[in-house]
Structures are given as structure tokens and as C-alpha cells.
Amino acid sequence: MKLLDIVQYSFTSIRHREIRSWLTILGIVIGIASVVALMSIGEGFQNQVNKQLSALGSNTIFITPSTATFQAGSVTTSGKLYQKDVDRLKKIPEITDIARLISGRADVTFRDKTLTSSVAGIEPGVFEKTTAIDVEEGRFFVEGDKHVAVVGANVANSSFGPKNTVAVNSYLLINGTKYRVIGILRKSGGGFGPGASQDGSIYVPFDDARPLFRDTIGPDEVGAVVLRTREGSDTAEVVDAIKTEIDASHKVKPDKRDYSVIDPKSIQAAVESVLSLITLFLGAIAGISLLVGGLAIASSMFTSVLERTHEIGVLKAIGASKADINNIFLFESGAVGAIGGAVGTAIALALVYVGSFFGLPASINPFLAAFCVAFAFVIGMASGYFPARQAAELSPVEALRYE
């Protein structure tokens, strides 16, 4: 039999067993849809991480107390940074810009509504150089600004209610002190560094922030330090120099450090490690679905061989060889897998596309889609291998007698 005849015969058989075929295909659809969706989301997260790290730049380094997070409003329970640490860092020639940060929670009042919000005190002229931050309306701080604030997109548009939109030149009361809003940040959706939670944060000048947090932060204490190194400098060497200076300042040994020095490469490595583990775990779950789908194909094909025994006898009687019978059933099982793969891939890509409108970071990769359809075809053929051999080995005489 010619290849075209085998293909036509196989698809005709699949159409005649429509309900059973689609029930069998469903197992492959679920498995492939899970694999494609998970891998697309994982790749989307990875692309977002790389984009945000690129925005920060490879020469940006963060220093925080060991138990602090990058988000404004975090509370440190051990380890502190001080002005003397910043003064020591200024001795390192490869460092070009240093920004100090103080952060905490404060009562913020706008019109008739009061809420508790993250407030960060930053240094004008330096912070925006070391953080991926973008002003949508108004401007950012400049040297000499006093009692002014820049607010995140969520604070401006939703935190105080839909009718209480914070605009440029609005006034906020922060812990009872009046601040004029001079800028509104573009919505970021998250990220890394001190600006990671900027959508829900309020920024004020560094010197204005000290009185706001006088009860929780010492006179010379610094919440975090962000710095940039000279272009072309070796980041690893600068990190070592930073650790040497702060170790001497804190009088601690390397294994007793009460602070963390983090550069974009270490962030990327950590995020990639976590994403890889999550993708592997979820991929294993999706793999179970594929295994179940493969077993369903094998079961369906064994049943098909049994039901079509007389048909196989007729085919052999009119000249079909063992190889022809084997190829018919093998291609038929592969086609079931490929159809399931194509439908599953289409469903996954549609879900990923719709999810992107709701902020889900996902990447649609046509090569991944093609690979999954081909992989489903292989899964189908592998599942149909033994049923195909069983069909091919049937005796023509016994097959013709079978009713």
C-alpha cells in the first residue's frame, strides 16, 4: 500500500470511531495543553526577569540588612546598615553612584480617607539612576526638594478609592506632616530592587523620611544602599571590595555577616533556579497526563484491533502485507496523538494569549508549539506499537473467520 492510501485509510477509521477517538484524544489534549501552557508561562517569567534586570543594568548592586527584603516597608529583625558603612563604600574607586534608602509603614491621609502605606525616603538625583523607575506625570525629586512626594500608580489611582484620585499638586498627610505630590510613577507591575513595590509606595526625600521613622530607625541608620559601578568594571571584584569594607565596619567574619550584597547576576541565577524547579515539578504533573493519554491510546487501539479482526483478514486477503497492516495501525495511533497535540496546543496558546491581557507574563513560542505536536505524534505511535504488531501478526484465515 502507498503512504497516501495508509493515511486516507487511517483517517477514515478515526472518523468512523468518532466518539471513542475524541475520548482518546482528550487525554493527549489535557497533557499537551498543560505542557505548552506551563512552558509558555515559565518562558514568559524568564523573559520578564531578564527585561527587568536589563533595565537595572549589570553594574547595579544592592546592599541590605540580612533579614530585610527589597520591598519598602520591610522590617529588619537583625543586622543594620549605618552611615559609616556608606562612607566606607565611597572609598571604592569603581563605585560611581551611591543611594541611601529608608523605608517603613506610615499613616497616609488624602481628603477624608486614611490608610497605612509603604513610604520610602530616597536621595534626590541618585536613586532614579540606580533603579528602573519611570515617571508618568510630573517629575521626580531634585536636590533641595522638601516635603514633596512621588507616588506609585496604585496609590494615585485606586488606594484611596475610585473617586479619590491623587494628582500632581495634590496634598498628602504622612504621619501628620503635609507633603505635596510632584510626580506619579508609571505602573510597573513589580520588579527587583528598592523600586520593586513602587506601584503601592510613596517616595519622599531622604532627609524628610528620618523624622517619619524616628521611632523605628536610629539617627545614623540606613535601610538599604543601592550603588552603581563604573562601566567595564568587574562586578565580582567590586562585590568583594564591598564585603571587605562592611566586614571591617561591622567587625564581623564572612560566616557571620549581618548584611547581604546582591547584584543582578545573583538575582538572575536565584530566579532561574526557582523557576526551573517549579517548571520541572509542574512539568512532571503534566507528564503524568501524557502518560495517561498514551495508555488510553494503547487501550483504544487494542480494542480497535479486536473489533476489526475480520477487516484485517479482508485486507490481507486482497494483498495487504504485514508491514501494511502494521503501518496502518501505527499511523492511526500517531494521528490520534497528533490531533490531540494540535488541539491541546491551540487551547494552551489561546489561554496564554487571553491571560496576557490580565498581566500574566507568558511567551508564545511557535517552535515550542510545533515540537509539542510532533512529540504528541511520537507518543501516539509509541502507544500504538504493540497493538499494531498484534494486528500485523493475525492469520488471514483466522481473521476472516472472526465475527
Does one domain contain both 104 and 210?
yes
119 vs 105: CA distance, rounded Å: 6
Q: Last residue of some domain: 246, 262, 278? A: 262
Predicted structure pTM score = 0.59
Query: How many domains in the chain?
Result: 2
Using pLDDT thresholds of 50, 70 and 90, give the confidence band for residue 74.
very low
Mean pLDDT of the chain: 79
Shared domain check, 356 and 229 = no
Residues 167, 23 share a domain:
no
Category of 89 on φ-ψ map: left (φ > 0), alpha (ψ -120 to 50) or beta: alpha
pLDDT tens per residue across span 20-59: 667 777 878 888 888 888 778 777 777 777 776 665 666 7
151-178 pLDDT per residue, tens? 998 899 888 888 889 999 999 999 989 9
Quote the CA–CA distance of 104 and 194 in Å, as a whole number. Answer: 12
Expressed as residue numbers, the domain containing 309 is 3-51+269-401
Residue ending a domain, choose from 262, 277, 294 = 262
**264-307 vs 385-392: helix crossing angle, rounded to 10:** 20
The pLDDT assigned to 288 comes to 77
Tell which of 210, 241, 262 closes a domain: 262
Burial of 325 (0-12, 13-18, 19+ CB in 10 A): buried
pLDDT tens-digit profile of 191-247? 555 545 678 889 999 989 988 888 888 888 898 888 888 888 888 888 899 999 998
pLDDT digits (tens, 9 = 90+) for 264-306: 777 777 777 777 787 777 677 767 777 777 777 777 777 776 6
Q: Which residues, in sequence order, are bridge partners of residue 63?
A: 225, 261
pLDDT score at 48: 74
pLDDT in tens, 291-348: 777 777 777 777 776 666 767 677 767 777 778 777 787 888 888 888 888 988 899 8
361 and 317 in a common domain: yes
* Positive or negative: CA dihedral 154, 155, 161, 167: negative
